[in-house]
Amino acid sequence: MALLDMARRKGFYIEAAHVNYHRRNTADRDEKLVRDYCRKYDIPFHLLDSDPDSYQGNFQAHAREERYRFFAEVCEKRGLDGVLIAHQKDDLIETYLMQEERKLGVSCYGLAESNHICGVKVIRPLLKWNRKDILDYCQENDVPYGIDESNLSDAYTRNRIRHETVEKMSDAEKEEILKEIRRKNEEKASEEEAVFLFLENDTYQVDEFLSFPYVKTVLRKLFPAKSEAFIEETLRQIRESDRCRIGDKDMTLIKEYGEVSFFKVPEPYSYSFASPEEIEEKDFPFFKIRKTGNSKQAVTLQKDDFPLTIRSFRQGDAIRMRYGAKKIRRFFIDSKIPLRKRMIWPVVENGKGEIILMPGIGCDLNHYSEKPDLFVIEY
């Protein structure tokens, strides 16, 4: 209510969004307080009438998700810039102490002055105010407010920390906690910047990767849904194994040939050409077609090769050379081609299903000439 009044007095265009969870006796009283204030000052009022039986499990988590989703819907529907939230200094300290107690990995210690939740910007302009300052403001400016009696109970972790710790702190002790929060957030910002720059590359020598001071944060960024046990096991495999592959189609990390690389597994690709006239010099996502190149990228096409297909490598692919059939996988291994490049390496297949060109090896024994008419160049 204090924040609503401050914003109105500053002359901002504001609308009010209120959620009634119907979880306590004074819930309807609080809705009426907000509604009456908005009616008095002609402020648009939006209500989410929540069903108290609509959730299972942790009510606090459910309630938070529900209200921020509601706020985002109001902002989108009404063309509003963001949401003002009245978290204050004591809320910031309580949040930090909860994080420390639960040993949570966090993107911000305490509460950020602004961030995005459910796709909408959230701003907390009262983080330098304490609870007493806000109560004094309401009393001095005749701002109606209600006390949420559930805050008086120790049933929730936040309330316990508030009553047992924060309320017993002196102003000096609170300031020390705030300094600690600022210091940790500055350190985290430096770490985030270093990790961001590190992730601009996607291949590192093993020693270089392991010696990066924030290597665990890198792995958490690459695999955000994975546990700390997964992160530790990944590091163990990188340290101890000669070769390993970790992850899934969303993100894969590979150690091979003395390097660590990470990438999103590409989808298989295939391009078909019904006739020679359809083939022209062109750049494709993973290869390019040219009229010139080296002998290992060259093939001389024949009429019965069409329809012609240029596609990504598949397990089991082989090409018939003058000295016999050669498994393409064997070429990759002998040439130490990294797995990420194997997945996008092009092969040229004719209408009979025969591979007639493997860039890097050359064409098969029936498609060689001194005057090739197609060059497929791998990236």
pLDDT per position as a tens digit, 286-341: 999 999 999 999 999 999 999 999 999 999 999 998 888 989 999 999 999 999 89
| Contact criterion met (CB below 8 Å) for 367 and 358 | no
Domains and CATH numbers, the chain: 2-177 (3.40.50.620), 202-263 (no CATH), 270-378 (no CATH)
What pTM does this model have?
0.69
Residue found under tokens 């392991």: 210
CB 23 within 8 A of CB 150: yes
pLDDT digits (tens, 9 = 90+) for 252-275: 999 999 999 999 999 999 999 999
Q: How many CA atoms lie within 13 A of 64 on its CB side?
A: 5
Longest Cα–Cα distance of the chain, Å, equals 95
CA neighbor of 266 nearest in space, from 200, 344, 201: 344
What residue type is 200 in one-letter code? E
pLDDT, tens only, 194-235: 999 999 999 999 999 999 999 999 999 999 999 999 999 999
Tens-place pLDDT, residues 338-361: 998 999 999 999 999 999 999 999
| C-alpha distances in Å from residue 213, one per residue of 106, 191, 192, 208, 271 | 18, 9, 12, 10, 44
